[in-house]
Chain A
Amino acid sequence: NAGVMQNPRHLVRRRGQEARLRCSPMKGHSHVYWYRQLPEEGLKFMVYLQKENIIDESGMPKERFSAEFPKEGPSILRIQQVVRGDSAAYFCASSPSDRGDNQPQHFGDGTRLSIL
């Protein structure tokens, strides 16, 4: 009975490197959401994906960030040329549909990204 699986749990990168965060949704869930939590702040929506489609990326920074949810395999959040300000906890959530009455979104344990 696996929940939303995120890995790695902790990721350390040097400035300029790339960070790849992975998220496997709960079984039967085809909707994936990424949120970012900066230190001492609430979660902010980044992107919402369904299989092979980006539905809403209104919260994604315009540069360096990208997300995908391929037909096979986990969803990937990719951050290129990381900077210190990217240090945060990145949470993935999944749901069986986007209907409000079919929520809540179930969250993974998050990936803590630290930039040296």
Chain B
Amino acid sequence: AQKVTQAQTEISVVEKEDVTLDCVYETRDTTYYLFWYKQPPSGELVFLIRRNSFDEQNEISGRYSWNFQKSTSSFNFTITASQVVDSAVYFCALLTGTASKLTFGTGTRLQVTL
């Protein structure tokens, strides 16, 4: 069975602070894909990144970076110099090679204030 755990329910930071959102996953499949989605207050889901299980290289995109560690089954997401527009719920999700459905974590609500 697949499982995604986002232990942080809510995080509040002041603008310009760095913040890391944790994601721990469980799967017995050797081929799998990890995703992060952003859900702003308007409600839509915005794709941020996909990482496959064979690629442990970390990725940086502007102020966003992702740290994939197979040894700890984690795929953490860091926002550097946070901004108010980063305020949203962030979901980590898992897609395994034997299933077509995404398994989502319960999300982390990030509140960035001035």
Name A's B-contacting residues (CB within 8 A).
31, 33, 35, 41-45, 48, 55-56, 58-59, 89, 91, 93, 98, 100-101, 103-110, 112
Contacts and interface: CB of A to CB of B under 8 A. Distances in A.
A10 to B, nearest CB: 10
Interface bracket on B: 20 to 34
A33 B106 contact: no
Interface of B: 31-33, 35, 37, 43-45, 47, 50, 52, 91, 93, 95-97, 99-107
Contacts of B52: 100-101
A110 B37 CA distance: 14
Nearest to B9: A40
Given A100-B31, A103-B35, A104-B35, 9 more contacts: A35-B104, A45-B101, A45-B103, A48-B101, A89-B43, A105-B102, A107-B47, A109-B43, A110-B45
